[in-house]
Every structure is written in C-alpha cells, then in structure tokens.
Amino acid sequence: MADPMSALSAVRPPRRPVLLLLACLWLLLSGLGGWGVYWLAQQAGIADLRASGEHRMDLYAASLEREVDKYAFLPAIVALEEDVQALLRRPDDAGLQQRVNRYLEQLSDRAGTLSVYVVDSRGKVKAASNWRRADSFIGEDLSFRPYYREALRVGSGRYFGIGTTRGEPGYYLTSTLGPAPDRVQGVAVVKVGLAQLEQSWSAVESPVLVSDENSVLILSNRPAWKFTTLQPLDEATRQQLENSQKYNRRALQPLGWQVLRELDAGTALVRLKPEAGASAASAVSAASSAGLFLSQARPLASFSGTPWRMTVLSPLRPINQLALSRAWVAAAALALALLLVALQRQRRRHLREQLAARAALQAAHDALERKVEQRTADLSAANLALQQEVAERVQAEATLRAKQDELVQAGKLAVIGRLSTEMAHELNQPLAALRTLAGNSQRFLERGELEVARGNLQRMADLADRMGRITARLRNFARKSRGEPTRVLLDDALDNALAVLEARLSRAGARIECKRQPQLAAWCDANRVEQVLVNLLGNALDAMRDQPHPCVELECRAVARQVQILVRDHGPGLSAEAQTHLFEPFFTTKPQDEGLGLGLALSADIAQAGGGSLQGTNHPDGGAVFTLSLPALPSTALADTRAG
C-alpha cells in the first residue's frame, strides 16, 4: 500500500538552488527571446530602410541629373554665337569683347548659372559673364584646369571643381569652339552652381552625399561634410589635387566614418563619429549626423564622364529604438508567458500530486475498511461463537442449578433420612398414647363415665394435632425451594430449624443458648437458610455426641450490611485436616451411615448463591464455631416491609 504521508510530502516546493537555476533559465530565455525579436525587428527595419533608401537615391539622382541637364546645351549655344567665334578670331577687338561679355552676362543671368566664359586656345579667358566684377576671370590662364584639357581632348566635358578665383564650387560644362572639331579656337565654359539642389536636399534630415572619383564629398545636405573624403587620401593623390587646384586648396579631411559591416556591394552599416558633425549648426543636425547609419551607395550612371557615387545614409537609431522597444515588449511577454507556463506546470504538478495523495489516502482508506470489514467479520464470528458459548454456559448453568437444586434437595432428604429415626420415635409416643386413650375411652363409655371419656377424646385430638404439626414441619422442610430471596426473620429461621431437630435435641438432652435479636432480618430463601442451620446444628450435636449435657450457643447479629448467625458447640473443635477440607464435597470423618460429607459443601454453596458466606473455625475457648453471613435487607425491601 502506498504511504499517504509520503504522497502528501511529495507536494513540497522546489529547493532553493533549483529555484535559482529556474530563475536564471527564465531570465536567459526571456533575454534570448528579446534579443531574437530585436534582431528580427532590426533586420526588418534595415530591409525597410534599404527600400526607402533606394527610393530616395532614385529621387536624388534624378534631381541632380535634372539640375545638370538643364544646362547641358548651354556651352553649345555659346559656341554657336557669331560674336564669340569672332572674338576668338579677333582677340584684341575690345568692342567685340565687350559685346560678348554682355551676351555671356545676359545668358548667365537668364539661365541662372554661376558664370559663363570663353577661353581661347591658349587657355586664357577672353570673355566672361562676370566681367563687371573685380575678381572677373577675364585674362586668367585656365589651361591647367582639367575641364579645359578634357574639352580640348574630346570636344566637350563635365567636371566638378572649385573655382580658382572665388573658390566657389560648381559643375563645369564645356564645349570646344571653332569651325571644325580639328580646328579648335577655344572652349566655352558654363559653371553651374549646385547650391540650390543642395538647398532642396537640406530639408531632408537623413544625410545624402555625392562623392567624386577621389572620394571627395562634392555635394551634401550636410554643409560641414563638404570637401571631406570618404577614405583618407594618400600623399601622391593629395599632391596631384593640389596641383590641379580642383578643390582650390581645401583641406580634404577624412569624414571619419567607420564601416562596421558590409551588407552587400554598396550597402554597409557605418558609424559616424560625433566630431564629424560637430561643426554643424544645429543640435538636431548634429544628432542626425552622428551614430549608426545604413549607408547605400551607387554610381551615378548619367554622369558617365565623372565617376560620381551617390551615398544615402539612413539613421539606424529609430529602427534600433523601435527594435529595442519591441524586444523589451517581447522579452516581457515571453517572461510572462514562461511564468504562466511555469505556474501552469506547477499547478498541474500540484494537482497531480494532490490526486496521487488522494488516491493513496483512498487506497489506505480502502485497505483500512477491508481490514475493518475483516475484523468485523472475525468479531462477528467470535461474537457468535461467544453467544453460543454463553448460551451453552447458560444452559450449563441452568443444568448445574437444577443439579444443584437436586443436590440441595438430596442433602435435605439425607437430613430427613437421618431424622427419620427420631421422627418415628417422636410419632410413636403420641401413637401409643392415642392407642391407650382410645382403649380407655371405650371402657369409660361402656361404664357411662362420659365426662372422663370426653376428656380422653380431647387429649386424643391434641395428640393428633401434635402429630400433624410434626409432619407439617417435616413437610415444610422437605419441600423444594426455588432459591428466591424474601425477607426472613432470623428468629423465625432459627425456630424452624430447632423445630425440625426438636426430637433429636430432646433425645440428646442438648441445651440451646440463643442470643436473639428480634426483627433482625436477612434477604434470602428461608427454606435454604433453615437447611444450612439444620446442617450446622446437626454437626454440632454430632461433635458433642459423647457429652452428657451438650450445649449449643446461637447468636444473631448485624455486621455492616450483613446479618450473621453464629453456631458454636463445645465439642472437640475442627481438626487440622477438617479445617483444610472442611467445605470439600464428600469430606467426612463420620461413619458411612452417618455422614456423606455433603452437608458443609452444600451449605457453603447455598450461602454463596444467596449472596452470603459460610466460615468455620475453632473457638478460642474450645469447640467449633460456624458463621453464616447473609445479606441484610436491601433498602427497597426495607421500605416495602415498613409500609406493609
């Protein structure tokens, strides 16, 4: 059988180290879940950023293209102008030069270019739209400028550079001048400013930049980043750029970004150091110019002559923040879910254990019940057996009682048997007297002495009464008794016993000394008490049979809740053997025809059955003394007696 207590003790909470381990696992799993969600959200965010970055790049490239293409035809228009061609043929014609200057000025103003100018075949500026200004290009030697050389080489060119005079960055569009491509007389140059474009880009918060073949940032909506480089320049390149004055001696410091991870060609995660945007005007732009960015770059295809690359930077901070907040939410949700699962499992375990404990208890209960049933069945069987035994014992007791009654009766008859001699003697006397009186009466009647005859008849009647009393006493003594207790006056019991033994007492010449107590009563069967007294008196007479004047002392007394009758003789007393076997059946020291050895055994039984006792001992002054103790009247019987 499963021990219910062990099943109950199984419902113990987990121990401290296990709890600690579970808590660590819980935190780890929640953290891992959070990290996974962070990673996924970041990847999704980056994918979104890439898509929007691509889109932005399309827009920026298109706007840049539009901006430049607007002016693409201008150098050719300049080349078509008669005055321009004439000026190249007659470079010293001041009037012509003035006209060309004005024409270029008007053209530049109308087109919105930075400047338009004409360079002769030796690289000298012959006419310029900015002729009025003190820092006009006129007369300057631009033969070293790459766009000029390029134009001479291929007939037209595009070039980004910073003006050597005013240091103004711009896009140079060139076209050769002359009657035929192989007879070049000069170059028409249109310098387009991209400030407006940059202006329009500056509204966009995310950085966008265009780098040229030297990785120098030539356009950007971050003014501070312009003319920085994406990669540090080696000394040779730096020297070469110095010579061409392409960037008009700008410092060309590196932008100082750090490529963290290349995602694929042209796409990378980069970190911009705060210093890179330190010189930015506003804090907002400073904030949006530093940190982590997704960098997307691609070459600008339409600027085939110039290998420019457009780079769009999208800040990762919002994505990271969003991913972080999602990660926190996911981690918290996961932690909660795990907690719920753990609680659920714990609850289920608890329930399982409770059920197991209950089942164990039920099993124990069932086993106990089976045991109880078994025991009850055993007990019932034992009870039945006991009842049978009791019934048998009751039966045996009834039989015993019947036998005992018969024995008592037999004992009584034995006494009567012993008394029969005395009885016969006692009856013989009145019988003889009756006979004599009857004969006498006959004679007195014949003689007519009627008075005497009447006297004789009266005496005869008295004798018949006496004989009737003797037989009545014997009949009374001999009757069967049921042993039912009644109120018995000790005096009456003694008188009846003495009456039964009257003949024997008188024959033995015995003296009876009796200390009576009138009204002292016992609660017993009168007939049986008389039988005991007859036995005791008979034994006393037997013990003093050799004495000429035997004396029996009788005493009635009340002791506690009992009454006692003491029978003392003056015989030899009880021998040692008699004291040992006094109440044993068939112990006798008398001759066979005188004693059966049942008298005292029956008397003791009678006393005991009536709730009393019988004791025999030797008196200190000689002789034996027997004490018959009987129950005194019970209080209810006493009340009845008084009422009666």
Interface with ligand ADP (CB under 6 A), residue from 587, 611, 634, 638: 587
Output the smallest distance, CB 409 to ligand ADP, in A. 16
How far is 482 from 244, CA to CA, in rounded Å?
162
Whether the Cβ atoms of residue 434 and residue 461 lie closer than 8 Å to each other: no
What element of type H or E holds 452?
A: helix 450-478
How far is 488 from 527, CA to CA, in rounded Å?
10
How far is 502 from 508, CA to CA, in rounded Å?
10
Contact between 589 and ligand ADP by CB under 6 A: the answer reads: yes
Using the contact rule CB under 6 A, the part of the chain among 27-35, 393-401, 584-592, 629-637 near ligand ADP is 584-592
Among 551, 562, 557, 558, CA closest to 619: 551
Output the smallest distance, CB 558 to ligand ADP, in A. 24
Contact between 606 and ligand ADP by CB under 6 A: the answer reads: no
Residue with tokens 């010293």: 92
How far is 609 from 266, CA to CA, in rounded Å?
130
Using the contact rule CB under 6 A, the part of the chain among 11-19, 164-172, 548-556, 574-582 near ligand ADP is 574-582
Using the contact rule CB under 6 A, the part of the chain among 101-109, 196-204, 255-263, 566-574 near ligand ADP is 566-574
Contact between 590 and ligand ADP by CB under 6 A: the answer reads: yes
Contact between 610 and ligand ADP by CB under 6 A: the answer reads: no
Nearer to ligand ADP, 240 or 589 (CB): 589
Paired sense of beta strands 115-120 and 125-128, if any: antiparallel
Total binding residues toward ligand ADP, as defined by CB under 6 A:
20
Among 258, 260, 289, CA closest to 274: 289
Contact between 588 and ligand ADP by CB under 6 A: the answer reads: yes
Output the smallest distance, CB 529 to ligand ADP, in A. 16
Contact between 267 and ligand ADP by CB under 6 A: the answer reads: no
Helix axes 16-69, 317-446, angle to 10 degrees: 150
Whether the Cβ atoms of residue 107 and residue 116 lie closer than 8 Å to each other: yes
Nearer to ligand ADP, 230 or 540 (CB): 540
Interface with ligand ADP (CB under 6 A), residue from 46, 624, 630, 633: 624
How far is 385 from 383, CA to CA, in rounded Å?
5
Contact between 411 and ligand ADP by CB under 6 A: the answer reads: no
Coil vs helix vs strand at 225 = helix
DSSP string, 454-474: HHHHHHHHHHHHHHHHHHHHH
Contact between 521 and ligand ADP by CB under 6 A: the answer reads: no
Write out the E strands in 137-247: 156-162, 169-177, 186-192, 208-211, 217-220
Output the smallest distance, CB 534 to ligand ADP, in A. 11
Order of all β-strands in the sheet with 551-559: 511-515, 551-559, 562-568, 624-631, 613-618
Contact between 600 and ligand ADP by CB under 6 A: the answer reads: yes
Interface with ligand ADP (CB under 6 A), residue from 331, 460, 596, 604: 596
What binding mask, one character per residue, do residues 424-453 give for ligand ADP by CB under 6 A, x or -? ------------------------------
Contact between 571 and ligand ADP by CB under 6 A: the answer reads: yes
Whether the Cβ atoms of residue 290 and residue 54 lie closer than 8 Å to each other: no
Contact between 569 and ligand ADP by CB under 6 A: the answer reads: yes
Using the contact rule CB under 6 A, the part of the chain among 297-305, 369-377, 459-467, 587-595 near ligand ADP is 587-595
Nearer to ligand ADP, 9 or 617 (CB): 617
Contact between 597 and ligand ADP by CB under 6 A: the answer reads: yes
How far is 608 from 589, CA to CA, in rounded Å?
24
Order of all β-strands in the sheet with 208-211: 217-220, 208-211, 309-315, 291-299, 267-272, 257-264
Contact between 574 and ligand ADP by CB under 6 A: the answer reads: yes
How far is 409 from 399, CA to CA, in rounded Å?
15
Using the contact rule CB under 6 A, the part of the chain among 52-60, 104-112, 173-181, 594-602 near ligand ADP is 594-602
Nearer to ligand ADP, 255 or 540 (CB): 540
Using the contact rule CB under 6 A, the part of the chain among 93-101, 349-357, 438-446, 588-596 near ligand ADP is 588-596
How far is 603 from 31, CA to CA, in rounded Å?
107
Using the contact rule CB under 6 A, the part of the chain among 289-297, 304-312, 502-510, 597-605 near ligand ADP is 597-605
How far is 254 from 226, CA to CA, in rounded Å?
10
Output the smallest distance, CB 601 to ligand ADP, in A. 6
Contact between 501 and ligand ADP by CB under 6 A: the answer reads: no
Contact between 170 and ligand ADP by CB under 6 A: the answer reads: no
Contact between 36 and ligand ADP by CB under 6 A: the answer reads: no
Output the smallest distance, CB 378 to ligand ADP, in A. 48
Among 206, 211, 233, 243, CA closest to 222: 206
Nearer to ligand ADP, 100 or 598 (CB): 598
Nearer to ligand ADP, 328 or 586 (CB): 586
Cα of 609 vs its chain's centroid, Å:
69
How far is 157 from 370, CA to CA, in rounded Å?
113
Contact between 511 and ligand ADP by CB under 6 A: the answer reads: no
Output the smallest distance, CB 537 to ligand ADP, in A. 9
Using the contact rule CB under 6 A, the part of the chain among 249-257, 284-292, 585-593, 636-644 near ligand ADP is 585-593
Both structure tokens of 557: 């007394």
How far is 419 from 602, CA to CA, in rounded Å?
18
The Cβ of residue 591 has, within 10 Å, a number of other Cβ atoms equal to 7
Using the contact rule CB under 6 A, the part of the chain among 101-109, 118-126, 357-365, 592-600 near ligand ADP is 592-600
**DSSP-assigned beta bridge partners for residue 129:** none
Which 320-359 positions form the footprint of ligand ADP (CB under 6 A)?
A: none
128 contacts: CB under 8 Å, gap ≥ 6: 101, 104, 115, 116, 117, 118, 136, 137, 138
Contact between 300 and ligand ADP by CB under 6 A: the answer reads: no
What binding mask, one character per residue, do residues 523-552 give for ligand ADP by CB under 6 A, x or -? ------------x---xx--x---------
Contact between 116 and ligand ADP by CB under 6 A: the answer reads: no
How far is 51 from 56, CA to CA, in rounded Å?
9
Using the contact rule CB under 6 A, the part of the chain among 70-78, 327-335, 384-392, 582-590 near ligand ADP is 582-590
Nearer to ligand ADP, 353 or 542 (CB): 542
Contact between 256 and ligand ADP by CB under 6 A: the answer reads: no
353 contacts: CB under 8 Å, gap ≥ 6: 7, 10, 11
How far is 110 from 225, CA to CA, in rounded Å?
31
Nearer to ligand ADP, 217 or 614 (CB): 614
Sites of contact with ligand ADP (CB under 6 A): 535, 539-540, 543, 569, 571, 574, 578, 582, 587-590, 595-597, 599-601, 624
